[in-house]
Amino acid sequence: MTVDFEPQSEEEAAEIVRAVAERSARLKLVGGGMRGIVADVAADAVLSTRRLCGIVSYNPAEMTMSALSGTPVSEIEAVLTERRQMLAFEPMDPRGILGLTGEPTIGGVFAANVSGPRRLSAGAARDHLLGIRFVNGEGAVIKSGGRVMKNVTGLDLVKLLAGSHGTLGLLTEVTFKVLPLPPASATVVLSDLNDAEAAGAMARVMAMPYEVSAAAHLPESVRGRFLGGALPDGPATVLRLEGLTATVSARAEKLAQACSVAGPVAVLEDGASRKLWREIRDVAPYADGTERALWCISIAPTSGHQLVAALRLETGVDAFYDWQGGRVWLRMEADPEAALIRRFIKALGGGHARLIRASAAMRAATPVFEPEAPAVAALSARVREKFDPKGIFNPGLMG
Amino acid sequence: MRVSDQIAFLAPRRSVLDRREAIIADLADLLPPGCLVSDIRGLVPFETDAFIAYRQLPLAVTLPETTAQVAAVLKYCGRYGIPVVPRGAGTSLCGGAIPQEDAVVIGLSKMTRILDIDLANRTATVEAGVTNINISEAVMPEGFFYAPDPSSQLACTIGGNIGMNSGGAHCLKYGVTTNNLLGVKMVLFDGTIIELGGKALDAAGYDLLGLICGSEGQLGIVTEATVRLLARPEGARPVLFGFSSSEEAGACVAEVIGAGIIPVAIEFMDKPAISICEAFAKAGYPMDVEALLIVEVEGSEAEMEATLTSIIEIARRHGVTTIRESQSATEAALIWKGRKSAFGATGRIADYICMDGTVPLSQLSHVLRKTGEIVARYGLRVANVFHAGDGNMHPLILYNINDPEDAARAEQAGNDILRLCVDAGGCLTGEHGVGIEKRDLMLHQFSQADLDQQMAARAAFDPQWIMNPSKVFPLEGRPAA
Amino acid sequence: MQTSFTPAQLADPHIATSEQILRKCVHCGFCTATCPTYVTLGNELDSPRGRIYLIKDMLENDRPADEEVVTHIDRCLSCLSCMTTCPSGVNYMHLVDHARVHIEKTYKRPLGDRLVRAVLAAVLPYPGRFRLALKAAALGRPFASLLKRIPPLKPFGTMLDLAPSKIALASAADTPGTHRIDGVKRGRVAILSGCAQPVLRPEINEATLRLLARLGIEVVVPEGAGCCGALVHHMGREEQALDAARRMVDAWLKVKEEGGLDAVIITASGCGTTIKDYGHMLRLDPAYAEKAAQVSALAKDITEYLASLDLPALERKTLTVAYHSACSMQHGQKITTAPKLLLRNAGFTVRDPGEGHLCCGSAGTYNILQPEISEKLKARKVRNIEATKADIIATGNIGCITQIATGTVIPILHTVELLDWAYGGPKPAMLEKVR
């Protein structure tokens, strides 16, 4: 990918945007050279935030960090780990499934609202984003939010920009909340449940007071592709506990006891547990070097398995479940079947499907983002127009 | 002089005032009997909310019973450019629900049905007029709760919570409204009904839900909400820590959080606040301390013990003088009852205005001391009771509202305190909202460009500026309507 | 809250008292949440905060009451749930009492309304007249539905519905005199015979006399007593209420002079709330202020008094009792645990119905004057009580007994009837069919 602009400062970025806006040209915004999202953007020029790089401030005692948007996630995580802290929303590393080699940036993570398994208990990326600075489509530098945990001063543009995929503004700096790294982690593995049984079991577990931080179900078709095949035989319903060492083992024991009525139970200790959840986070089974269509679906947790069951009657799919069943990673054998999937989601009470990976031909033919209801789509278009009146940022993306 | 003379409302639209009678007649046609208040006597109690420093009578008050009726009223108001002020339970502490002369109030107090409780997906869908505590009470027998717990949770509605992105004591661990809201049904200024989100953990498209949460009724009126429920912890226990100075208590909070210990709640009360709360709740707060922290830990017995041990160790380093664990559920309930009634209980001794700035924890002690100095300079008294764990301060400036000079001094002291919070790296409001109270301080925290962008986003929802228009944004510097 | 009264207005001691009450309110809105009418109607004008504001506006402007204000004040049950909730300590009771007097003095009600109120005020406080009226009601019952279709006469129809089908004869328990005790005398109390209660449920005071007698407490039914004034007090008929209060004060203090007095026992909590407020009601009457305060201090609900007597713990029974706390008991007098502890101690399993803070809709004459709201509250109350699956309902107020009994088949008794039975009295007739 050719990069046309690599501003080194916020002012420079604003100048570039103003110049581009003046020419009514279109600009594709990228992070550290990753494509990051499957949709193709046809633009006149590419702007990378790669050189807007560096941690601006880190205050471990207040659990906040500010960083320029092009700062690699790896750099941030390294600094946090040193102080036994973390990004609690567990952003995934998409390089495996997308077959890319770039460096994910913190701006990209928030622009795409990337969240992993702990989203179930700790919230999404957007829930941890406290403040932003961005350049709008007219080249004005705007700030919103701040660096304190509670802040309701003015409209929450922070949430709006999170997950807007660079269509409302160019993030230049992000301030976010970090949390203590849990000293211990353990995973209770409940085996031999089918998808429907697993959904029921996960719902019951989440109603128990054991503070399960993540709950996933790995059907037999994918189970062997985790931990190098070391998970016990049969479909695995996996439940993660985190916290102080002593309490994690006590809770794991109680949880295992509670689960044992449903099927065989095993407990993964710290190391294996952490590895397993990293693999779930990064969708390891589908990091298969192919371009087969991969969907990330959000739906009510108890409906995930119903969706997959319905699809199986119509087409070839493989799937596993995170977020108690509410996030479905769905790999298609052939056609992306966007219309079918979206029809079923609607019939099951709503949610949305986003195409994460597909061949160029499929991408061209498939709406990557879930189409919105007409009134909401019209509203979203008006909002976009208010941030980027000339439509210069990432044209074609997000409606 | 009425106190309300001190703050400006938007000039009423002549075209609206002149049509008052016709508008009331039309609204009566749109609503069932008993859902419209237009008699001057009946309008008076709606002239303010829990922020009593300012008042303004509305043109009429509508109390619709369904989303369709809300839509009908909004469509009508949208068509004729009639300002609309949404109202939940009227518990706003920043005047968010104070009407204006040409406004139709849309009150959601008749929409109080719980529509769906889905325990497997841990969601509740309720009408906007359902109170915050009603949600938790509805699911308590099954072992669940709704986490955000503003102190007014007994009365405040979920619609109002969404409007202000309300917080509460237990938000230290569980987050505020925006972190626990999954979906809404809402009506836009022109009567369009839209639905955002649902039972899934995230939604498609722009995070409009995130934008609406905390938008203070400027983007539309939420009529239904789907919120996340959580499983109740195994146990929970508030513990009282008494200190001989506010500074020590503040430093203790900063060190607890700094050590990576995040209890469910850390609440702070200074001596005046302790005596006010004790007078109402008789919770057994220690009366011989200068500052008190209520620290709530939860989990299994072992977990609570472990967390408490670490906190006690830190508290000792900061000279804690009293440590008292609650011994029973009744005692725990009283401790929280006292804390959560603090603002109202202040009425026993004086009128008050409540500040809501948030500051970084490292600034807590400094800001507490400065606050005391500011208030003293104006010859007033202050009681401090707030969410210390997340730096969300609530100095209650005590004054006599019947004395205009005292009221003016209180207002000025409040402004000075809020500027102090912003200058310390914090913000004007952590959970109560800007409303009308802090509107004219917005430029202290934001540049005009920042506000222009917010107002542009607002205009995408309400191009005519009819939704709660006198609030949030300074009256000068607004785009021409 | 800001007030604007002139010094001339404040010279009126009633205004001065109300101004002090208003100054405490900070308009926080907590009271709305626990107000039965706000919860039912969803209009702030039908909440304590709304009414406080209406009253304030009316008093500040020295204005006669008008229809809008009267409508919303009339809908207030005076259940005082708001006073339990209010963190600021606003004395809503005294404020709304003041407003009712102001209404009565300055507002001319429509003819039908006046008629109904005049009938209630002329009949209910007088047991003889009330008994006669009930007998007539038995004859009039077939006309109830007809009356209810004529709006101004609707309350009369409701009255017929509420009237019991069997009317008891005057009870010996109401005859003035001193009731003998068995064994050693441990105390001496006076009892309020009351007005409506001895007609509707003479069993309550009979049980009280039996139980106290067994416990060695001498009970005096004073000469010249009667209605405590609560019923007319809530209708804003100040003079009638104060006259009743003075008469009762005289009657009880005479008993005290004659042989000492440990307490004035009240078996209807609605009356208890008013009697405990005599001190305030008569504070401006130099001849009675001090005496009234004495009586208020002596006034005790029967359960409050029994709790001080250390009754023995009894063996566990199989019966489950839903305890309905009357508003006047829990909010008016703040007696919340004593009745339940007594019942538990006597061996009953006691359950608390949900939404216990909400009124059953009885509220003195409310169920007659505001039948629609009253019906809704009754249905809600019965739903909550029946959810406890209890065998018996116990409560401490005759109004609630009459109201709830028309909505459920579960027998409802006064707490003292159950206690009398448990401690050796006869099984209440109402429980014949219960295991």
Contact check, Cβ <8 Å, A143/B460: no
Question: What CATH number has the domain bearing residue C290?
Answer: 3.40.50
Residues of B in contact with A350 (CB under 8 A): 198-200
Determine which of B196, B219, B453 to mutate to test the interface with A (most A C-beta atoms within 10 Å): B453
Side-chain half-sphere CA neighbours of A379 within 13 A: 28
The arrangement of strands across the sheet holding A184-191 comes to: A265-268, A184-191, A236-243, A212-218, A317-322, A327-332, A294-299, A351-357
Which residues, 6+ apart, have CB-to-CB distance to C386 below 8 Å? C408, C410
Strand-strand pairing, C349-351 and B395-399: unpaired
> Do C272 and C182 belong together in one domain?
yes
Contacts of A382 in chain B (CB under 8 A): 460-461
pLDDT digits (tens, 9 = 90+) for B293-302: 999 999 988 8
Query: In chain C, whose CA is at the least distance from the CA of B49?
Result: C27
Phi and psi of B278, rounded to 5°? -65, -35
Instruction: Tell me which DSSP letter residue C311 carries.
Output: P
- Per CATH, the number for B114-231 is 3.30.465.10
The pLDDT-based confidence of C226 (bands split at 50, 70, 90) is confident
Give the separation between CA B166 and CA B175, rounded to whole angstroms: 10
- Note whether A370 contacts B445, CB cutoff 8 Å: no
Q: Please check whether residue C434 lies inside any domain of the structure.
A: no
Nearest Cα residue to B289 out of B324, B337, B317: B324
**Residue written as token pair 């530098």:** A141
Q: How far apart are CA C334 and CA C354, in angstroms?
A: 18
Q: What is the model's pLDDT at position A245?
A: 86
Q: Tell me the pLDDT of chain B averaged across its residues.
A: 95
Query: Does residue C338 sit in the same domain as residue C283?
Result: no
Cβ contact (<8 Å) for A326 and B200? yes
Strand partners, C179: C219
Residues C254 and C375 in one domain: no
Same domain, C211 and C303: yes
Is the CB of residue B127 less than 8 Å away from at least one CB of chain C? no
CATH of the domain at C40: 1.10.1060.10
Q: Is residue C1 part of a domain?
A: no
> How confident is the prediction for chain A on average, in pLDDT?
95
Contact list, C81 vs chain B (CB under 8 Å): none
Interface of B with C in 318-337 (CB under 8 A): none
Residues C152 and C56 grouped into a single domain? no
Q: Are residues C15 and C133 in the same domain?
A: no
**B176·A354 Cβ contact <8 A:** no
Residue C315 lies in a domain: no
Smallest CA–CA distance, residue C63 to chain B, in Å, is 11
C300 shares its domain with C180: yes
Alpha-carbon span B211 to C382, nearest angstrom: 43
Q: What's the pLDDT band for C84 if we cut at 50, 70, 90?
A: very high
d(CA C338, CA C311): 12
Touching subunits of B (3+ CB pairs, under 8 Å) are: A, C
Q: Is residue C284 part of a domain?
A: yes
C307, C328, C359: which is the final residue of a domain?
Answer: C307
Residue C187 CB partners (closer than 8 Å, separation 6+): C216, C217, C218, C262, C263
Residues B84 and B466 sit within 8 Å (Cβ to Cβ) = yes
Q: Tell me how close the Cα of C111 comes to any Cα of chain B, in angstroms.
A: 23
Residue C235 sits in the same domain as residue C335: no
Burial annotation B336-347 (CB, 10 A radius, 16+ → b, else e): bbbbbbbbbbbb
**DSSP reduced 3-state for A217:** strand
Residue B154 sits at the chain C interface (C-beta within 8 Å): yes
Which chain A positions have a beta carbon within 8 Å of B453's beta carbon? 136, 140, 142, 144, 157, 386-387
- Cα–Cα dist A387/C86, whole Å: 47
What pLDDT shows up at residue B2?
A: 42
Q: Does the pLDDT at position C142 exceed 50?
A: yes
What are the tens digits of pLDDT across the range B70-120?
Answer: 999 999 999 999 999 999 999 999 999 999 999 999 999 999 999 999 999
Under an 8 A CB cutoff, do B346 and C26 touch?
A: yes
Per-residue confidence (pLDDT) for residue C168, from 0 to 100: 74
Taking an 8 Å cut-off on Cβ atoms, the answer to whether B210 and A141 are in contact is no
Matching residue, tokens 């597909």: A358
Classify residue C424: in a domain, yes or no: yes
Residue B48 to residue C27, Cβ atoms within 8 A:
yes
Interface check B344 vs C, CB under 8 A: yes
pLDDT grade for B7, boundaries at 50, 70 and 90: confident
Yes or no, beta carbons of B52 and C27 under 8 Å apart: yes
* B4 pLDDT above the threshold of 50: no
* Within-domain flag for C2: no
What digits encode the pLDDT tens for the residues A26-51?
999 998 766 555 667 889 999 999 99
With CA atoms as reference, the chain C residue closest to B132 would be C33
Asked if A317 and A330 count as a contact pair (C-beta separation under 8 A), the reply is: yes
CB nearest A153 (choices: B192, B231, B427)? B427
> Do the Cβ atoms of B91 and C29 come within 8 Å?
yes
| Per-residue pLDDT, B6 | 67
Q: Are residues C187 and C267 in the same domain?
A: yes
Q: Quick one: angle between helices A374-387 and B448-461, nearest 10?
A: 160
| Per-residue confidence (pLDDT) for residue C435, from 0 to 100 | 65
Please tell me the pTM assigned to this model: 0.96
Percent of residues, chain C, with pLDDT higher than 90: 82
Q: Where are the domains of chain B?
A: 114-231, 236-337, 350-423
Q: Rounded to an integer, what distance in angstroms lies between the CA atom of residue B107 and that of residue B61?
A: 7
Residue C140 banded pLDDT, cuts 50, 70, 90: confident
Q: Do B44 and C90 count as a contact with CB atoms less than 8 A apart? A: no
Query: Which of C3, C22, C26 should we substitute to test contact with B (largest number of B Cβ atoms within 10 Å)?
Result: C26
Chains touching C, CB cut-off 8 Å, 3+ pairs = B
Q: How far is C259 from chain B (nearest CA, A)?
A: 38
Q: Is B240 helix (H, G, I), strand (E, B) or coil?
A: strand
pLDDT at C410: 97
On whether the B236-337 domain is CATH 3.40.50.20, my answer is: no
Sheet holding C217-221, edge to edge: C177-179, C217-221, C187-191, C263-266, C299-301
Helix or strand run (H / E) with residue C415: helix C415-422
Which chain A residue is nearest to residue B180, measuring alpha carbons? A123
C236 and C334 share a domain?
no
Predicted local distance difference test score (pLDDT) of residue B135: 98
Neighbouring-strand partners of residue B227: B124, B181
- Model confidence pLDDT, tens digit, residues A368-378: 999 999 999 99
User: Average pLDDT over chain C, rounded to whole?
Assistant: 94
CB contact under 8 A, B34 and C43: yes
> From B301, which residue of chain A is nearest by alpha-carbon distance?
A247
CB contacts of A136 in chain B (<8 Å) are 453
Instruction: Locate the chain C residue with the closest alpha carbon to B403.
Output: C2
Q: Is residue C435 part of a domain?
A: no
The span from the CA of A157 to the CA of A387, in Å, is 11
pLDDT on residue A38:
61
User: Is residue C313 in some structural domain?
Assistant: no
Position B246 scores a pLDDT of 92
Is a pLDDT exceeding 50 seen at residue B330? yes
Q: Do chains B and C touch (3 or more CB pairs under 8 A)?
A: yes
C and A adjacent (3 or more CB pairs under 8 angstroms): no
Q: Is the pLDDT of residue A109 over 80?
A: yes
pLDDT band of residue B29 (cuts 50, 70, 90) is very high
**Could you tell me how far CA A176 lies from the centroid of its own chain?**
16
CATH topology of domain B350-423: Alpha-Beta Plaits (3.30.70)
The answer to whether B236-337 and B350-423 have equal CATH topology is: yes
**Residue C156: is its pLDDT beyond 90?**
no
Contact A206 B433 (CB under 8 A): no
pLDDT for C390 beyond 80: yes
Q: What is the rounded radius of gyration, in angstroms, for the C-alpha atoms of chain A? A: 21
Instruction: For residue A327, name the pLDDT band (cuts at 50, 70, 90).
Output: very high
Domain boundary among C122, C139, C162: C162
Find, in chain A, the residue whose alpha carbon is nearest to that of B390: A149
The neighbouring-strand residues paired with A32 are: A103
The answer to whether B201 contacts A126, with C-beta atoms less than 8 Å apart, is no
The pLDDT assigned to C141 comes to 79
**How far does the CA of residue A140 sit from the closest CA of chain B (Å)?**
7
Task: Convert the pLDDT of each residue in B131-167 to its tens digit.
Answer: 999 999 999 999 999 999 999 999 999 999 999 999 9
Residue C218 binned pLDDT confidence (cut-offs 50, 70, 90) = very high
Look at C42 and B63 and tell me if their CB atoms are within 8 Å: yes
Q: Which two tokens stand for residue C396?
A: 């401490």
Q: Which of C4, C25, C32 sits opposite B89 (nearest CB)?
A: C32
Are both C153 and C185 inside the same structural domain? Answer: no
Burial of A51 (0-12, 13-18, 19+ CB in 10 A): middle
- All domains in chain A, ordered by first residue: 10-180 (3.30.465.10), 184-271 (3.30.70.2190), 284-358 (3.30.70.100)
What is the predicted pLDDT for the residue at B307?
A: 92
Number of domains making up chain C: 4
Using the structure block, give the residue that is written with the tokens 């010094």.
C7
Distance from CA of B378 to the nearest CA of C (A): 20
Element (H, E) at B365: helix B364-377
Provide the pairing of β-strand C349-351 with C320-324.
parallel
CB-nearest partner of B472 from A60, A113, A154: A154
- pLDDT tens-place string over residues A134-171: 999 999 999 999 999 999 999 999 999 999 999 999 99
CA distance C207 to C340: 18
Q: Decide: C398 and C266 in contact? Cβ < 8 Å.
A: no
Which residues from chain B sit within 8 angstroms of residue C2, using beta carbons? 3, 52, 351, 401-402
CA C229 to chain centre: 11
On the question of pLDDT at B41 being above 80, the answer is: yes
Tokens of B446: 């934001």
Q: Where are the beta strands (DSSP E) in chain A?
A: 27-30, 45-48, 55-59, 64-68, 85-86, 129-135, 141-145, 170-177, 179-180, 184-191, 212-218, 236-243, 265-268, 294-299, 317-322, 327-332, 351-357
B387: chain A residues, CB-CB within 8 Å: 150
Query: Considering CB atoms only, which of A141, A156, A247 is closest to B306?
Result: A247
Output the pLDDT for position C160: 82
Measure the CA–CA gap between C281 and C293, rounded to whole angstroms. 9
Task: Convert the pLDDT of each residue in B411-434 to its tens digit.
Answer: 999 999 999 999 999 999 999 999
Q: B37 touching C, CB under 8 A?
A: yes
Looking at the structure, tell me whether residues C134 and C257 fall in a common domain.
no
- Kindly report the three-state secondary structure assignment for every residue of C343-405: HHHCCCEEECCCCCCCCCCCCCCHHHHCHHHHHHHHHHHHHHHHCCCCCEEEECCHHHHHHHH
- Last residue of some domain: C106, C125, C141? C106
Range of C67's domain? Answer: 7-106
